[in-house]
Amino acid sequence: MSVFGDGLKAEIEGFLKRYETRRSAILPVLHAIQDVHGWIKPEHIEELHTVYGLDRVHVKEVITFYDIYKDKPVRKFQIRYCKNITCHMLGARPAIARIREHIAALDAAHGEDGAFSLEEFPCLGKCDGAPVMLVNKERVEHATVDKIDQLLTKYAPTVLR
């Protein structure tokens, strides 16, 4: 029995057909797995190897090379905040501190299974909207400390009230 559901299995097979070599399809395959499961589990890597013929070491190398792929469980809302110079100059540091306060308060109230995790990224490529962050895949521009409370409440209103 597959660790991937039928829909994900079909999506993976579609990616593998689109590329000249199976190895070339690894990035979209990993994105699809992570979109469905939240992270890439050891059993996913094993099935990619046994069923689809992808080399285990190559799959692990890709996962560890790119920050976007996760090999450990993640929280429901993953915040990626840009820390480049433009975002820094326009208020990233106090906004990141405010997000950390929220996460610490939620963890204290609800345990370590809180709704949010924070990861600082070197650049999110949207300097004209600085400071910028991603909440899962949604980009949030002009994410200053003044907006953090309302932004986080938007994503997890029941958790923050």
For the chain, the structural domain boundaries read 6-65, 77-160
pLDDT one-digit tens code per residue, 85-137: 999 999 999 999 999 998 888 888 776 666 888 888 889 999 999 999 999 88
| CATH 3.40.50.720 at 77-160, yes or no | no
- Which of 22, 12, 60, 17 is closest to 40 using CA atoms? 60
pTM: 0.70
Helical ranges in 66-144 per DSSP H? 85-89, 92-110
Q: What is the dihedral of CA 156, 109, 104, 112, to 10 degrees?
A: -90
